[in-house]
Structures are given as structure tokens and as C-alpha cells.
């Protein structure tokens, strides 16, 4: 047997030996832990991405608007305060889930819904709100 044939035989034996190694069994609990960890990581990355979007939106609004210091602070903290305009609220909390508009002889009224929070506007200025969430 020549050197070339011997090298070929060694390579075949090594490769066939590797193919016969069985992977280690992973318990069902370990698989569930890995999957739970992956879901948590994915949720955290999504939450971080959304928070980054919120911060960028707030900074952009504050940078281009002539706001009072109180309203500027509310927008930057992601809060709402009486006297905010509709664009101020959108910059702070984002777009509402639902908008209910009406008008009467005293002006234009609007109710914005964010989950279980309700914001009330008169003539496009925030007048009051009901919310379990921190204003």
C-alpha cells in the first residue's frame, strides 16, 4: 500500500468515526429555558428599539418647537400636561389608538384613547385626562 492510499484510508476512517458520534441529549426543561431566554432577549431588543424611536421623536419635536420649559420637560419625559397641543402629545406618547372628535358652538372637542388612558382636548389643547398611567 502506497502513501497516497494510506492517507486516503486514514481520512475515510476519521470521517466515518466523526459521523457516528451521537449528539448529547438535551432535556425538555433545558430546551424550554433556552426558548424562554430567546423570547426574553427578543422582547428586550424590541422594547429598546421602540424606546429609541420614542426618544428620537421627542427630541425632534423639542428641537423644532418653541415650547414652554414645562411642556418641553413633559415631552422629554414622555408625559402629558395641561396646555399641550395635539402635536406635543403625539411627540410625547405617540399616535393614539383611537380619536373621537366632535364640535359645538364653543369649539372643537376631541378625545384621544391610549389603551386605558383618555385625553380630552378643546380647540386642539389638552384640557384634562383620565389615566391609571403616570401623566
Q: Please check whether residue 112 is in contact with residue 99, taking contact to mean a CB–CB distance below 8 angstroms.
A: yes
Report the domain count for the chain: 1
Q: Of the candidates 87, 83, 84, 114, which has an alpha carbon nearest to the alpha carbon of residue 100? A: 114
Evaluate whether residue 1 is within a structural domain: no
Tell me the pTM.
0.62
Interatomic CA distance for residues 34 and 20, integer angstroms: 26
Q: CATH number of the domain that 96 lies in?
A: 3.30.1450
| Averaged pLDDT, 23-40 | 73
Question: Which pLDDT value is given to residue 120?
Answer: 96
Plot region of 61 (φ>0 → left; ψ -120 to 50 → alpha; else → beta): alpha
- What are 34-81's pLDDT values in tens digits? 777 677 777 667 767 777 888 888 999 898 778 999 999 999 999 999
Amino acid at each position: 500500500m502506497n502513501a497516497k492510499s494510506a492517507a486516503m484510508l486514514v481520512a475515510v476512517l476519521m470521517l466515518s468515526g466523526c459521523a457516528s458520534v451521537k449528539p448529547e441529549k438535551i432535556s425538555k426543561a433545558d430546551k424550554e429555558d433556552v426558548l424562554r431566554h430567546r423570547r426574553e432577549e427578543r422582547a428586550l431588543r424590541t422594547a429598546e428599539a421602540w424606546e429609541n424611536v420614542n426618544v428620537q421623536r421627542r427630541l425632534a419635536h423639542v428641537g423644532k418647537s418653541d415650547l414652554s420649559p414645562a411642556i418641553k420637560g413633559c415631552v422629554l419625559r414622555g408625559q402629558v400636561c395641561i396646555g399641550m397641543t395635539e402635536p406635543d402629545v403625539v411627540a410625547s406618547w405617540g399616535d393614539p389608538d383611537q380619536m373621537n372628535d366632535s364640535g359645538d358652538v364653543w369649539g372643537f372637542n376631541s378625545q384621544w384613547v391610549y389603551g386605558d388612558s383618555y385625553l380630552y382636548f378643546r380647540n386642539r389643547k389638552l384640557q384634562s385626562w383620565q389615566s391609571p398611567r403616570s401623566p
